[in-house]
Structure 1
Amino acid sequence: MLHYKIYPNLYKDSVSLMQISARLNGLEGIIQASVAMATEANLERMRDAGMAITATAKPSDLLIALLADEDVGTLALTVADELLRPAPVDQEQGIVGKRPATSLAMGKERAGDANLALISVPGRYAAAEALKALQLGMNVMLFSDNVSEEQEHAIKQFAGQRDLLVMGPDCGTAIVNGMPLGFANVVRQGAIGLIAASGTGLQEVSCRIHHLGEGVSQALGTGGRDLHAEIGGQTMLQGIRMLAADPATRLIVLISKPPADIVSEQVLKLARTCGKPVVVHFLGADPSTLAKHGVLPASSLQHAADVAVAALRGESLPAAVTVDDANLASTTAQLAKMAAGQRDIRGIFAGGTFCYEAQLALLAEGLTCESNAPVKGASALKESARGHGHSLVDMGDDEFTQGRPHPMIDPSLRNARLLQEAADPATAILLFDVVIGYGASLDPTAELLQILAKARQQADLAGRQLLFIGHVCGTELDPQSREQQIAALRQAGVMVASSNVQAAQLAARLALQLK
């Protein structure tokens, strides 16, 4: 039965709502739970998910809806009350009864030296709030999505006129002055500045830099559309100027999916003339073409970090990343145990850029593949519910996250998809990512290990052998600890690669042998 509760005029940011939703969905007996601001769009998504809410609610109200039996539903709403209860006030600090800040202006008045506003409100209100922050002299990280390109262009133009930066909209990751924001990892501070139109791309490169012993000065997200012709790369251009003037930044790294040609020319021209070495990785772009613009080209996310660290240290620049021969040798023997007809890679990703990069790795090996977010040369997914042939799925895409938490927060839908693909007699290799850090699930492998064990058991009963290949994006300083996650995965028989591209390259080489 349907249970729901309306909390009048209660606002919580998107990450908080997704985390509460994940907690409720994790309760035994919950069929589905949704936690969102009561905008018309969110109400419509809940109705589409089978939660026919008829009560009247305002966009400023918080709404919790769930499907469960009576006792479980009542318990879940009680749990929700606890999760939404304000933190106790510290009486020793003398702020009992102090009115909470209810506007950007009030917040700025209380913290006069604040120069960054993180905005996470429903998309229809986000542009107006961003403009308010800019008028108060603050840079903006716009976590919100569903902001039109016209509004994005106008906001960024307004910011540029005031020498301010707008990260976003739909900017999920940043590290500013050592502070991780959104979905970000704990990395050491250092001399490499990052600007990325990709959240998980930014995470992968910043973590790799940390693993290599260097650090990050600033990691700025631009939002995924910044390098579209309609936006003109305004945030990336402004970010280059800011990092070029930053004495703590000695080298700059730019990351993006393929930009519009006219924007690419502008970005590369500024990169060449900014006065500092710049490493550029445009996923799928020809590195030799980028080199002609006077920048340091990189061919993958891992390679971008490797080149940046080598250039910073004055060392010889490394060659492009290739398949790890040791991993290839140790896994090849398992192919002989596979049944006739097992030949497909099924990739299930929480990170959209990881899905994108994996497709490029397969295409580079001459393999065809399909995806719900296909790169140039790949095919569109034939069925959203299952894969065909080599199939790589971005579970963070809107079609899977409407009314549900992102798979980095709640990986249950991703895990269910892994089990489903494992049951296909054609599946030979399951390829996946585990993204940790702030905002992500605090125990991302707990359910995953059970799913992998079940998949292996079902395959054994059917006379098949499955090969699991994964990679963990994060650091040992993250709340979930990368080393602990890797150890748990390896104990479960997963081949854990050092990066996303190496995981995909390994899967591709093995698939070629099966073919």
Structure 2
Amino acid sequence: MVIKNIIKKNTYYDSVTLMMISSKITSLEGILDATVMMATDYNKKLMTDSGLLLPENLDITSNDLVIAAKTESDEKITELVSVIEEELQKKSDASSEGDLRAKTINTAVKRLPNANFTIISVPGKHAKREVLKALDNNLHVLLFSDNVSIEDEIELKDKAIEKGLLMMGPDCGTTVISGAALGFANVVNKGKIGMVAAAGTGLQEVTCLVSQLGEGVSQALGTGGRDVKEKIGGRMMLMELEALAQDEETEVIVIISKPPHKSVMEKIFKFIEKVEKPVVTCFISGEPMKVEKDTVIQTFTLEDAAHAAVNLARAKKIEKVIFTKSQEEVKEIVEKEIAKLGENQKYIRGLYSGGTLSSEAMVLISNYVGEVYSNTPIKEDGLLKDIEKSEKNTVLDLGDDYFTNGRPHPMIDPRLRVERIKKESSDPETAVILFDVVLGYGSNEDMAGALTTAIDEVKQKLAEGRHISFVASVCGTDEDIQSRKEQIEKLQNSGVIVMPSNAQATRLAILIASKGETWSKMIGGLASE
């Protein structure tokens, strides 16, 4: 085994670029472990803990780029470096198209005097300084960076609001501005439904479903997940809601979030009471509020929010969606899967790349079958004792910090999910493996292909003919670079049951794992959805 570090002094690339390169190089033959990172203190610790950073390089700084690898031989190191150099050059070439490269925001503004928007992705400790520069230049900001203090977030958002500018973030990963998909976002139709969200994959799910239903998005604005916490007070969400209320292209407003703090929820509904446009809310696992206006629709799932928004835009009756397939079709699928399961197979194991989607799955499972465990539980007593070991019905958010320390995000890198699919499949009590595939800019080029390779391998190795049901949903559109249609076909060719939404996939998983015992409760609409 060879461990090698290559240091590129005073060389910066953003975290998304480096995560994508890290994902690509680890699949190379002969590479035992590898990463490409900026040498922040946190990243140096991660590399040291994983045995990738050599002791003589501990004094490198956050301005330096590190290529760190464990390989089978020196020859593999040469091959690895060649691939990385090629990928970095592609990034540099793309950035220099049109001769518009700039090292500072002030220089960029001089070269693009008509620009009014910027995306900032720098280490968190530098984010405040760069955002202030952007705001001083009257630029709206999408702040992708995390590790920004609450105090700095408040200061930046207050300054933005004072200047009438958006400051979406920190840790804001998804936005669609005037048809342009930014961050982890998808190619969706332009239309008359405007959205505000403190939930990235939640926003992706709703924008994609709206587009699939034939309507479109005017604006889809992120806030950053902390915006709806008590200390931030919904500053940016309220500003964005006001902007959509005044936007001539927006006819219906959708609000998506995990439950805001009570004080923030009260502010949101105070706004809703006065706005003239119809409003759809989806607060995952939140309690409904008392509202007198019949143009305010409170929904339970992201899919219900999408359908409600589309029906309001078309002046049609609002109807709740359980399954878009007929009851007969669903029953046939469920009975076919149940017939293959053993008596002891009774649990769902959810392996999610999207935090909002994993939360939605947990809420549904909890409503229908009771206890559900997780690394990010919806209830305190649902916290796993050991995150590496599932208990009964377990849903994991693999994008949580615990899993992404030293690794690219699971929307980019399939390795962690591949490992967990194999692990959950070895548990004789596992009945269903439930997962999402999230497409769009920044996401893996062929996530379905990577996961089905693992699924095919698992199926070949299952002992004594034991069967596991694989159930998934694909968040995306056919216009995404990965093509939703093509990703679905790959999954189905490996025997994965693909449902039209995360909510429907979760319900199907519940029916299969419960051996149909939840059928009357679910189809009869008796659950508290």
| TM-score clears 0.5 | yes
C-alpha distance in structure 2 between counterparts of 1:441 and 1:475, whole Å? 14
Counterpart contact for 2:53–2:68, Cα < 8 Å: no
Q: Judging changes above 3 Å, is the alpha-carbon distance between structure 1 residues 94 and 314 closer, same or farther for their aligned structure 2 residues?
A: closer
- Tell me which moved more, 283-292 or 148-157: 283-292
Alpha-carbon shift at residue 289 of structure 1 (Å): 3.9
State the SS of the aligned residue for 2:226.
coil
Q: Which residue number in structure 2 is paired with residue 487 of structure 1?
A: 489
| Runs of 5+ consecutive residues of structure 1 not aligned to the other structure | none
Distance change >3 Å, CA 319–CA 9, structure 1 → 2: same
**Cα gap change, 1:94 to 1:47, in 2 (>3 Å):** closer
1:254 aligned residue: 255
2:77 aligned with 1:76: no
User: In structure 2, how many angstroms separate the alpha carbons of the residues matched to 1:285 and 1:84?
Assistant: 44
How far apart, in 1, do the equivalents of 2:215 and 2:132 lie?
A: 36
1:332 counterpart letter in structure 2: E
Structure 1: how far apart are the matches of 2:186 and 2:125? Answer: 29
Q: Name the residue aligned to 2:359.
A: 356
Shift of 1:93: 8.9
2:407 alignment counterpart = 404
Structure 1: distance between partners of 2:355 and 2:299? 19
The 8 Å contact of residues 423 and 458 in structure 1, kept in 2 or not, is answered as no
Instruction: Tell whether the 8 Å contact from 1:251 to 1:276 is kept in structure 2 after alignment.
Output: yes
Q: Determine the C-alpha separation between the residues in 2 that align with 1:94 and 1:346.
A: 48
User: What is the aligned partner in structure 1 of residue 63 from structure 2?
Assistant: 60
Residue 382 (structure 1) aligned to one of 365, 376, 385: 385
Give the Å deviation of 1:389. Answer: 0.5
Residues 304 and 368 of structure 1: CA distance in aligned 2, closer, same or farther (over 3 Å) = same
Number of the residue aligned with 1:415? 418
Q: What's 2:16 paired with?
A: 15
Residues 88 and 221 (structure 1), Cα distance of their counterparts in 2 relative to 1, 3 Å cut: closer
Match of 1:508 among 493, 510, 514: 510
Aligned counterparts of 2:116 and 2:78: Cα–Cα separation in 1: 43
CA RMSD of aligned residues (A): 2.0
Paired position in structure 2 for 1:464:
466
Q: State the TM-score, normalized to the length of structure 2.
A: 0.93
Cα offset, 1:322, TM superposition: 5.2
Secondary structure in structure 2 of the residue aligned to 1:337: coil
Which residue of structure 2 lines up, in the alignment, with residue 145 of structure 1?
146
Q: How far is the alpha carbon of 1:329 from its aligned partner? A: 2.5
Task: Tell me what 2:336 maps to.
Answer: 333
Cα distance 1:88–1:238, how it changes in 2: closer, same or farther (>3 A)? closer
Secondary structure of the corresponding residue to residue 407 of structure 1 = coil
Helix, strand or coil for the counterpart of 1:370?
Answer: coil
Once the two structures are TM-superposed, the CA of residue 15 in structure 1 deviates from its matched residue by 1.1
In 2, distance between residues paired with 1:275 and 1:245? 10
2:499 corresponds, among 497, 500, 510, to 497
Query: 1:494 is aligned with what amino acid?
Result: V
Distance 1:36 1:94 in 2: 28
Aligned counterparts of 1:349 and 1:166: Cα–Cα separation in 2: 28
| The 10-residue stretch of structure 1 (199-208 or 65-74) with the greater mean CA deviation from structure 2 | 65-74
User: Given the alignment of the two structures, is residue 427 of structure 1 paired with residue 421 of structure 2, yes or no?
Assistant: no
Aligned equivalent of 1:166: 167
Are 1:305 and 2:306 matched, yes or no?
yes
Report the equivalent of 1:41: 42
What secondary structure is seen at the aligned counterpart in 2 of 1:276?
coil
Q: Provide the identity percentage.
A: 42
1:280-333 deviations in Å (ceiling 9; x for gaps): 111112346466796221110000000000011100011253585323431322
2:208 maps to what in 1?
207
Q: Secondary structure of the residue that 1:434 maps to in structure 2?
A: strand
**TM-score, length of structure 1 as denominator length:** 0.95
Structure 1 residues 501, 93: closer, same or farther in 2, change over 3 A? closer
| Alpha-carbon distance between aligned partners in 1 of 2:351 and 2:85, rounded to the nearest angstrom | 34
Distance in 2 separating the partners of 1:4 and 1:272: 59
Task: Supply the distance in 2 between the matched residues of 1:299 and 1:320 (Cα, whole angstroms).
Answer: 10
Q: Which runs of 5+ in 2 are unaligned?
A: 518-529
Q: CA separation in 1, counterparts of 2:88 and 2:421?
A: 32
Residue 146 (structure 1) shift = 0.8
Task: Give the Cα separation in 2 of the matches to 1:187 and 1:259.
Answer: 27
Q: Report matched runs for 1:228-247 at 5 Å.
A: 228-247=229-248
1:103 partner amino acid: T
Shift, 1:420, TM fit: 0.8
CA spacing shift, 1:93–1:207, aligned 2, 3 Å: closer
Whether the 8 Å CA contact 1:268–1:293 is kept in 2: the answer is no
* Map of 1:370 onto structure 2: 373
1:462 to partner: Cα distance = 3.2
1:185 aligns with 2:205: no
The amino acid across from 2:347 in the alignment is D
Matched length: 510
Match of 2:520 in 1: none
Q: Distance in 2 between matches of 1:84 and 1:377?
A: 43
Q: What does the per-residue CA deviation read over 1:364-422, in whole Å, with 9 as the maximum and x for residues that have no partner?
A: 10331100010137600122112111111111111111111111111111111111101
Residues 199, 132 of structure 1: alpha-carbon distance in 2 compared, 3 angstrom cutoff: same
**Residues 323-332 or 300-309, more deviating:** 323-332
Counterpart contact for 1:428–1:467, Cα < 8 Å: yes
Q: Could you tell me how far apart the structure 1 residues matched to 2:336 and 2:267 are?
A: 49
SS, match of residue 31 in structure 2? coil
- 1:448 offset after TM fit, Å? 1.0
Query: Which amino acid letter does the alignment assign opposite residue 481 of structure 2?
Result: P
Inter-partner Cα distance in structure 1 for 2:389 and 2:91:
43
Report the counterpart of residue 314 of structure 1 in structure 2.
315
Shift of 1:334: 2.2
Distance 1:470 1:332, change over 3 A: same
Structure-2 change in CA distance of 1:413 and 1:171 (3 Å): same
In structure 2, C-alpha distance between the alignment counterparts of 1:462 and 1:181, rounded to whole Å: 48
Does structure 2 conserve the Cα–Cα contact (< 8 Å) formed by 1:272 and 1:293? no
Is 2:278 the partner of 1:277? yes
CA shift in 2, pair 1:377/1:497, >3 Å: farther
Structure 1: distance between partners of 2:286 and 2:467: 36
Aligned partner of residue 225 in structure 1, secondary structure = helix
Residue 523 of structure 2: aligned partner: none
Aligned match of 2:446: 443
Letter in 1 for 2:204: Q
Shift of 1:247: 1.0
Deviations 1:1-43 (A, max 9, x none): 2111111221111111111111111111212112111111110
Could you tell me which amino acid in structure 2 is paired with residue 129 of structure 1? Answer: E
Q: Report the residue type matching 1:11 in the other structure.
A: Y
Alignment pair present for 1:112 and 2:79: no
